[in-house]
Structure 1
């Protein structure tokens, strides 16, 4: 059965975990430890009231974080309530999903993509150059399930890196980055296929990936591999933040 959006979002939390996640009334709070919006946002997990929004804001402040909410499909009332409180929309994200089987049919060219259990120094450098610093790299140490990194090579050099982790039947790819001079050569396709080959050995049946909706190049890559749109979400933050 094809995973639905709530299940995919569970896999996102499991494969790219916050430093700490806790329930406060109807809210799920995430402590990001500097790891970015995905691990620092608050989501509505129960019946909430407009008066309860202030409590959610205060709880986030106690974690040392500016108020930030993730708005998923079905959160339209929360979206409207936050808009009335001068929260702005940022970073709309599309979730993509594909069965693993079509991704493992093509042989991967030699010395093009490898699954590496722990990232090499050159892979960390690629992430650093792309703005994925130490705090975000530490997230990759937190998943409890199987995890690996993917090294991509082209033109006789290390040129790409990615992180992949499995939650049950779903493999999620995060932090796919290719150095600027080596983009447009098809390396991303082979790295995604290598991630699928590895994920299949871990018992996964599906692969999902997140992409900023305005990233046309990445959206084109996932579409060319046969991924389908599985859902969307965005964030809201105070416009003065």
Structure 2
């Protein structure tokens, strides 16, 4: 998967409410749905004047100045660092052919693909900080499903999967604390893969911040390989105004 395909899949499966072209930028209005749907990204070479224009547009919209730094944005990254922007959430994108996660059937009553989300799924997500604004992001995706996991005869976790062309991306995997370290997240990923195969997908991807050591270890154990990275550069509102 090349980087253009990767970031197109990220945008399509976790979509902003609006994307606003501005010179060499795409600005995003995430309506409170988190960094991924609120960060500006560069579409061409930028200079200091372009950065200030993007800052002013985000400030005018009441948003914290926030830029996503993708592969190829090294010069922009240095420019933002020189302007006092701090690094936030280095993230790895992983991918795997669907067939590698559909080789083992999901045990009965272990994971269910459901849309729209049940109340218990919303409760599980809420415990992990995934509230109404992020549920609204999910609802904007076109081809999608929620995943409810059960373990020890109790609700155990929830996840979200959406499709872009031949790629399924899994987001918002949240496992209840008492049900962790028992393989539940792996079954969520496999359930997503079986659903995606039915939709015609050929590969499955997931994003994971570097700080989440346990999740990175899980995805590697399932056979996922890194296909891209990104991070954010940010300033607090009062530092820019």
Aligned ranges 1:23-42 → 2 under 5 Å? 23-42=21-40
Q: Distance in 2 between matches of 1:108 and 1:206?
A: 18
Per-residue CA shift, 1:33-89, capped at 9, x if unaligned? Answer: 111100000000112212211001011112220100000111000000000110000
Does 1:168 pair with 2:169?
no
Does 1:103 pair with 2:111?
no
Matched residue, 1:66:
64
Matched residue, 2:209:
212
Matched residue, 1:122:
120
Name the count of aligned residue pairs: 238
Q: Distance in 1 between matches of 2:154 and 2:212?
A: 25
Over the aligned positions, Cα root-mean-square deviation in angstroms equals: 1.0
Q: Distance in 1 between matches of 2:106 and 2:235?
A: 46
Q: Distance in 1 between matches of 2:229 and 2:55?
A: 24
Q: Distance in 2 between matches of 1:186 and 1:58?
A: 46
Aligned ranges 1:1-241 → 2 under 5 Å? 3-144=1-142, 146-238=143-235, 240=239
> Where in structure 2 are there 5+ consecutive unaligned residues?
none
Q: Distance in 2 between matches of 1:5 and 1:154?
A: 36
Per-residue CA shift, 1:192-238, capped at 9, x if unaligned? Answer: 00100000010100100000111011011111110001111000011
User: SS of the residue aligned with 2:192?
Assistant: helix
Taking structure 1 as the reference length, the TM-score comes to 0.97
Q: Distance in 1 between matches of 2:50 and 2:39?
A: 16
Q: Distance in 2 between matches of 1:50 and 1:61?
A: 16
Instruction: State the 4+ residue runs in structure 1 displaced beyond 3 angstroms.
Output: none
User: SS of the residue aligned with 2:146?
Assistant: strand
Following superposition, the deviation at residue 16 of structure 1 comes to 0.3
Q: Distance in 2 between matches of 1:226 and 1:233?
A: 21
Taking structure 2 as the reference length, the TM-score comes to 0.97
Q: Distance in 2 between matches of 1:70 and 1:191?
A: 28
Per-residue CA shift, 1:76-134, capped at 9, x if unaligned? Answer: 00000000110000111100000001110101111101111211100000011110111
Q: Distance in 2 between matches of 1:149 and 1:99?
A: 20
User: SS of the residue aligned with 2:75?
Assistant: helix
User: SS of the residue aligned with 1:203?
Assistant: coil
